[in-house]
Structure 1
């Protein structure tokens, strides 16, 4: 069996297919063999790029942290404040739900992977940028970081798991979309809630 992929394209194809499976069925629903079958390549082909199933998950998490870091950096460079950093965090989660799930499930990952560690650090360095402006009133920047992250991570998780809708809480916001809900909810912590329409 020939893989039909140029060297390097198979790696991207495996990551894309793994993310699709994770989004549909969860992170435990694939093997390297099943990914190879889905892509029509030899069952050993993905192993050349990732070594193991954990290698695929590490690569997905690394890719996710890099995408998140880039989005947060773009927000900062465009003049976005700490609240908008949180909004971008939620946007990322909604746009990349499989990545988000894997990134924050440590039992799936090899924490000693240097690429994963570097990507995670890059994302968190961006996440804390701007927290100093929020912390001025309270005088506690670490608490502002944890509080802000907790709110937006919680909103993203509630949305992705369907709990925001199934609980009926989302209906309290009327026709507001998830970004508006994030701005209003996180804005309470940041003492700058956006006005209701």
Structure 2
């Protein structure tokens, strides 16, 4: 009957199975020991990086949840912007979990969803983030949402990091035919 028996991010059913009642959860929320991330998803305060808590909560409910776009750019150090909401992708055929404030859900095609998806353990939950290369491709691909200047700045930062090669980026971009030509043109200008 202890909060200690639960992972940093937990579902209501896990709390009930550990002997923590809904009344106790309400009291823990009132005292600031836990916070509710979404419907039936909780986090122990101070146990998870606040920038990743919504991702962990989403992944606790939907294991395919993946940090993407502006949120992934910030995670990889490819942007100084702090996104107003957390960008989380799910396959198009998967329904987003309910009740998550400050999360912008994105639906990516199931055929390319796993390209560049990297595991990321957060608060005892297996989540994921898109690789820097996939994130740059997505930001170019969805520049109508993120802005062309954000995409170009992220690409410039990525190119300045040691060990990054345009060929790795173009390998990922090859899976997105509508984007590869624009990305290749931008690379030719920058390199």
State TM-score, norm by structure 1.
0.30
Of Structure 1 and Structure 2, the greater strand share is in 2
**Greater RCO, 1 or 2 (C-alpha within 8 Å, sep 6+):** 1
State TM-score, norm by structure 2.
0.31
